Amino acid sequence: MINLFHKIKELKDESLHSKHEQLVKGVINALNQGVLNKGDRLPSINKMVNELGYARKTIVRAYEDLKSRGLIESKNFKGYYVLNTDTKVKLKVALLLYAFHSFQEDFYNKFRKELGNKYHIDVFFHHNNIDIFKNIVNSISGKYGMYVIAPIPSEEVQDILKQFSPEKLLIIDRFIEIPKEYSFISQEFETATFSLLQELLPAIKKYNEVILFYTDKADFPVGIKNAFERFVNVYKIKSKIEEEYEQGLVRPNTLYFTIKDSDLWLILKDCKSKNFQIGKDIGILAHNDNTIKEIIVGGITTISTDFKEMGFEAAKLIKSQSKIHKIIPLEIKRRNSL
């Protein structure tokens, strides 16, 4: 470790660097020059204090900074070890999503592009399973400089997320009640979906019946179902809710409201086989927009948030290290299917 201490002490005469910056840059220089290699153990905090004469909190802060970049890791009761020698990384980010749906791919692509190559992103999926969620959070906690998480709306998850310090956690996608110190960029489903269905009322009334495909077994927002039930009750519209579409049962003069893309593709397949014209013989309304829905069969009308905007805002927050409380509004993309 003599060479490591030498690299740090070399920076003492550079007045532009604080003691914290000297420590971080000294370790980075040691990594770049091969003084430290992956798996090497760093000096303990006590040894750093004795050798350099810096305050303990200064050394702890420097080690935490190096951890946030993904360069070192701490192992319980064993000390700090070199985890990665790629010193070009500015911050290591954990991104925890429901699943890689097409609309979340839009979020990721924009998020990745806006952050650039200096930020390392590891992606995880919890699939709306609380046990998987807890296991992933336990495995990533303390290993990243920033955590961007799409939570499962529940009190248990709220308590789990409070283990992260507010400046290192960003909630995205689903809104949950969490202390105001934490940042979020979320959607609101119930009020917004009801309002947008009202805007579509004249088009919806062209059809004899409206069917929503919704199941509690999936990661569907309950706000969509609540808004739908309220809407059809207020406007006396014949309707039903089914868990999923059964192939071959497409009926004319019916409006189908889908959340899951696999239901949508089966409906379109049946319409093609029966020569039903989308937007005339049957209507289709889908939640969550993507490029395919924009172009297929003349375009599918959607109710959706702008996931690219969500990705842009998330990246901007990480780069600026600021705070945000933002609801990305839902909007209608009117196309030929309705």
Q: Where are the domains of the chain?
A: 2-82, 91-188+307-330, 190-304
Record the pTM.
Answer: 0.77
Distance CA 326, CA 305 (A): 12
Could you tell me if residue 57 is left (phi over 0), alpha (psi between -120 and 50 degrees) or otherwise beta?
alpha
| pLDDT for the residue 51 | 82
What was the pLDDT predicted at 22? 82
Reply yes or no on whether the pLDDT at 5 is more than 80.
Answer: no
In terms of pLDDT, which residue wins out, 299 or 6? 299
Average pLDDT for 82-86 = 79
Q: pLDDT grade, residue 15 (50/70/90)?
A: low
What pLDDT sits at residue 272? 94
pLDDT of residue 37: 85
**Each residue's pLDDT tens digit, 96-151:** 998 877 778 889 999 999 998 888 899 999 998 999 999 999 999 888 889 999 99
Please determine, for residue 45, whether its predicted confidence score (pLDDT) is greater than 90. no
Do the beta carbons of residue 301 and residue 334 sit within 8 Å?
Answer: yes
Q: Evaluate whether 66 touches 72 at the Cβ level (below 8 Å).
A: yes
190-304 is a CATH 3.40.50.2300 domain: yes
Instruction: Say yes or no: domain 2-82 is CATH 1.10.10.10.
Output: yes
CATH classification code of 91-188+307-330: 3.40.50.2300
Q: What is the pLDDT of residues 180-229, one digit of tens each?
A: 999 999 999 999 999 999 999 999 999 999 999 999 888 889 999 999 99
Task: Quote the CA–CA distance of 275 and 84 in Å, as a whole number.
Answer: 58
pLDDT score, position 83: 80
Distance from C-alpha of 190 to C-alpha of 213, rounded to nearest angstrom: 16
Assess whether the region 91-188+307-330 and the region 190-304 belong to the same CATH fold: yes
Q: Find the distance separating the first CA and the last CA of the chain, reported in whole Å.
A: 70
Residues 6+ apart with CB under 8 A from 147: 93, 94, 96, 140, 164, 168, 169, 170
Highest mean pLDDT among 38-47, 79-88, 223-232, 321-330: 223-232
Confidence class of residue 55 from pLDDT cuts 50, 70 and 90?
A: confident
What integer best gives the mean pLDDT of the chain? 89
